[in-house]
């Protein structure tokens, strides 16, 4: 237990790094699918996707999981603290699934077999935000506030619906013209 707080600090830092990767990789996918007509640009985005996933996202996920297991091993009392620990674990497992799905989409984009559009990836990008909010809430409160959890799930479902159904694809020509002016 002497080193427990240092492991906790490492766990939080690893989680922050993992979330950074989960927040940014789908954004790169948006740029990827919306600029498929620009091979030079796509090559750069593919390199960014690869490096982000392989050198930041995946190691941070592994570090988060290992440090979390070590914390539960050193302090098995965490399992006795109520349902929040299990809710956190469930949310983390969903994040692992999400992370692996990002690698799946990354490989599809590389092979030009991905059929998803920018609106899909904008909406899909909301999933880790919801899970991060829930995880932090459960850990800080040491509880699972059902009303808050339900509200957040409904709120994010509405956000995803709006992004998928009503968001307009960006007018890339206007954006490019504005960038040329700079």
**pLDDT by residue (tens digit) across 6-65?**
999 999 999 999 999 999 999 999 999 999 999 999 999 999 999 999 999 999 999 999
**pLDDT by residue (tens digit) across 80-104?**
878 888 899 999 999 999 999 999 9
Please give the Cα distance from 140 to 132 (Å, whole number): 12
Check: CB of residue 172 under 8 Å from CB of residue 36: no
Q: How many domains does the chain have?
A: 1
**Structural domain span for residue 176:** 4-181
Q: Which residue has the higher pLDDT, 180 or 136?
A: 136
Annotated binding site: 11, 88
In the predicted model, is pLDDT for residue 174 greater than 70? Answer: no
Annotated binding site for heme: 11, 88
| Sign, CA torsion 65/70/71/75 | positive
Q: What is the DSSP letter of 61?
A: H
């Amino acid at each position: 237990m002497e080193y427990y707080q240092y492991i906790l600090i490492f766990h939080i830092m690893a989680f922050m790094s993992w979330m950074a990767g989960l927040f940014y990789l789908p954004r790169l996918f948006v740029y990827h699918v919306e600029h498929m007509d620009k091979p030079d640009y796509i090559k750069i985005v593919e390199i960014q996707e690869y490096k982000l996933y392989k050198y930041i996202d995946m190691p941070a996920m592994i570090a988060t999981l290992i440090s979390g297991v070590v914390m539960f091993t050193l302090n098995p009392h965490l399992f006795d603290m109520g349902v929040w620990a299990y809710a956190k674990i469930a949310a983390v497992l969903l994040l692992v699934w999400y992370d692996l799905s990002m690698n799946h989409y990354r490989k599809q984009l590389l092979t030009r077999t991905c059929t998803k559009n920018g609106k899909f990836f904008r909406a899909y990008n909301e999933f880790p935000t919801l899970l991060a909010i829930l995880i932090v809430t459960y850990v800080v409160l040491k509880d699972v506030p059902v009303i808050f959890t339900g509200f957040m799930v409904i709120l994010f479902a509405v956000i995803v619906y709006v992004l998928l159904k009503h968001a307009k694809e960006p007018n890339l020509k206007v954006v490019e013209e504005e960038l040329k002016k700079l």
